[in-house]
Structure 1
Amino acid sequence: MKLELETIPVWDGVQSQSECYLCDLMAEAQKDAIAFHLGNSVMNPETRVRVNEYGFCTKHWQLLVAANKAQGVALMADTYLATTRTKAEGAINALLGVKRPRQAKKAIAAFAAVMRDREKGCLVCTAMQERLNRYLYTTCYLWGDDPAFREALRQGKGFCLHHFQLLLQTADQALSAQQYPIFVHAITETEVMNLDRIANDVSWMTQKYKSENMDKSWNGCEDAHKRGVDKMTGRHRVIDPLS
């Protein structure tokens, strides 16, 4: 696995003391990809061909619309819809021609197959995935190459469970055979410590609502429910662009 290193954003991330700096970096990657597809690229024939072929997932079509750049979205939607109609024309004509139940089921199955193929791509998800791969690889690389980064990561707040899993999987490709198991142990130790911290915060939040604890300090746990959900699920997960 050979990827361009992204040392600056990863170093900034690990120093931010975020609950999961990979989630933060994915938020930026999503923002950048949305801005790209609503900027001058919308007039680029090569970009339009890619949009017509792959389009966006539901979430990212909606984010494009929410950006209030109506002309750009209209231009992309115009040709994307036309391409979709062309790809689905045969299946739609078969639906229009059904006369028997068995024929209807066959036509519906054919149309469903066209739609599954049409909906499996997303240019924003793909751009995010490419950035995530580089961030994961860089995190592992820096851990193996820079003792200061290794210590900063050890003292950090870990990752959401989703990105923690991906980081473990990436380590096999980014680190030497000698470093790999040491990294797995070290990063898991940090993750478990921070999962315990979150669990304690959430537990205290549940107790804080009891009448006998109303006057006691929140101990910084006012947002523990949010941090707990973020830790379990991740705030900015990439949907597999090919699923």
Structure 2
Amino acid sequence: MKLELETIPVWDGVQHNSECFICELMTEAQKDAINFYLGNSVMNPETRVRVNEHGFCPKHWRMLTAANKPQGVALMSDTYLETSRKKGEAAINGLLSAKSPKQAKKAVGAFHAVMDSREKGCLVCSSMEERLQRYLYTTCYLWGEDPAFREALSQGKGFCLHHFSLLLETAQKALSSSLYPEFVRELSKIEVASLDRIAKDVHWMTQKYKSENADKPWHGCEDAHKRTVDKMTGRSRVIDPVH
């Protein structure tokens, strides 16, 4: 699979020196996708057809409704609901007409199948997934092709565990077989050092709440609990997988 490279945002990201620059890039990808469906695209018939067919996951429906642009969300939800009712009409009629346990069970199963299909394929998640694949591939590609990028990455703070795992997997496709083992070793060294630093910070945070340490300095660990959670789970990631 050939992917379009995203060298500029990835280079910008690695220079931010964040706990996981992939998370930072994905936060922007999510904003871009939400803004797209809150903008003029909602008046585009092609976009409306896609929304009617796929819709959004619960998280991204909530983000859309929280953006204080009710007209666009009303237009999308109006036709999405209409399409959903049409797709589920037969199943709903089955629920209404069920007169025996067997009929009820069958009707509930049919309705569940319709709902399951409607809750897959969030357009925002799909857009984020496409961007994520390009960012992961570009990171691996630049590591293999650009010594300056490799050095910058080695001086960074690593990645969240979620994106660290995805990078190791992506490198199998993005790098030659001769470079792949070195990438795994070097990225793992960076990640272990990062995890050691985070572990030290959050442990000191727990000690700071003891009375005997109340007057001791924080050493920059005031937000260690947040950084630890971000490191473990990923601050911005695709929630609803692309189906």
Task: Please state which band the TM-score falls in when normalised by the shorter chain.
Answer: over 0.9
1:60 paired residue number: 60
Letter of the 1:59 partner, please give it: K
Per-residue displacement from partner, 1:11-44 (whole Å, max 9, x unpaired)?
A: 1110101000111111100000011011110010
Matches of 1:231 and 1:11 in 2, distance apart?
A: 21
Question: Does the 8 A contact of 2:54 with 2:122 survive in 1?
Answer: yes
Whole-angstrom CA distance in 2 between matches of 1:42 and 1:85: 21
1:24 matched to 2:34? The reply is no
For 1:242 and 1:103, locate their aligned partners in 2 and report how far apart those are by CA, in whole Å: 33
State the one-letter code of the partner of 2:33. Answer: A
Q: d(CA) in 1 for partners of 2:127 and 2:170?
A: 18
2-side partners of 1:79 and 1:156: how far apart? 46
CA distance in 1, matches of 2:82, 2:75: 11
State the partner residue of 1:176.
Answer: 176
User: For 1:130-176, what per-residue CA distance to the aligned partner results, in whole angstroms no more than 9, with x for missing partners?
Assistant: 00000000000000000010011011000000000100010001001
In the alignment, what sits opposite 2:131? 131
Rounded to whole Å, the distance in 1 between the matches of 2:35 and 2:20 is 23
User: Is residue 183 of structure 2 the alignment partner of residue 160 of structure 1?
Assistant: no
Conservation of the 8 A alpha-carbon contact between 2:88 and 2:111: yes
What does residue 220 of structure 2 align with?
220
Would you identify which runs of 4 or more consecutive aligned residues in structure 1 move more than 3 Å?
Answer: 240-243
Alpha-carbon separation, structure 2, partners of 1:71 and 1:207: 51
1:99 Cα offset (Å): 1.1
Spell out the pairing of 1:56-95 with structure 2 (5 A cutoff): 56-95=56-95
Match of 2:117 in 1: 117
Aligned mates of 1:105, 1:5 — CA distance in 2: 50
Q: Provide the C-alpha distance between the structure 2 equivalents of 1:216 and 1:86, rounded to a whole number of angstroms.
A: 65
> Normalized against structure 2, the TM-score is what?
0.98
Residues in 1 aligned to 2:197 and 2:112: alpha-carbon distance in whole angstroms = 46
- Aligned-partner SS, 1:204: helix
Q: In the alignment, is residue 9 of structure 1 matched against residue 13 of structure 2? A: no
Q: Which residue of 1 aligns with 2:188?
A: 188
Shift in Å, 1:53: 0.4
Instruction: Assess if the C-alpha contact under 8 Å between 2:57 and 2:240 holds in 1.
Output: no
Residue identity over aligned pairs, in percent, reads 75
Q: Which residue of 2 aligns with 1:140?
A: 140
| Cα distance in 2 between the residues matched to 1:39 and 1:240 | 22
Q: Does 1:102 align with 2:98?
A: no
Deviation, structure 1 residue 100: 1.4
Query: Which residue of structure 2 aligns with residue 45 of structure 1?
Result: 45
Tell me, in whole angstroms, the C-alpha distance in 2 between the residues paired with 1:2 and 1:184. 22
* 2:115 alignment partner, SS class: helix
Which amino acid in the other structure matches residue 137 of structure 2? Y
CA distance in 2, matches of 1:239, 1:205: 30
Q: Number of residues paired by the alignment?
A: 243
Deviation, structure 1 residue 102: 2.0
- Deviation, structure 1 residue 177: 0.8
Deviation at 1:242, TM superposition (A): 3.4
| Runs of 5+ consecutive residues of structure 2 not aligned to the other structure | none
Cα distance per residue 1:175-202 (max 9 Å; x no partner): 0111111001000110000000000001
**1:106 Cα offset (Å):** 1.3
Q: Deviations over 1:214-239 (max 9, x none)?
A: 01010110000000000000011102
Residue deviations 1:56-95, cap 9 Å, x none?
A: 0000001000111111001100110000000000000000
5+ residue gaps in structure 1?
none
Q: What's the offset of the Cα at 1:240?
A: 3.8
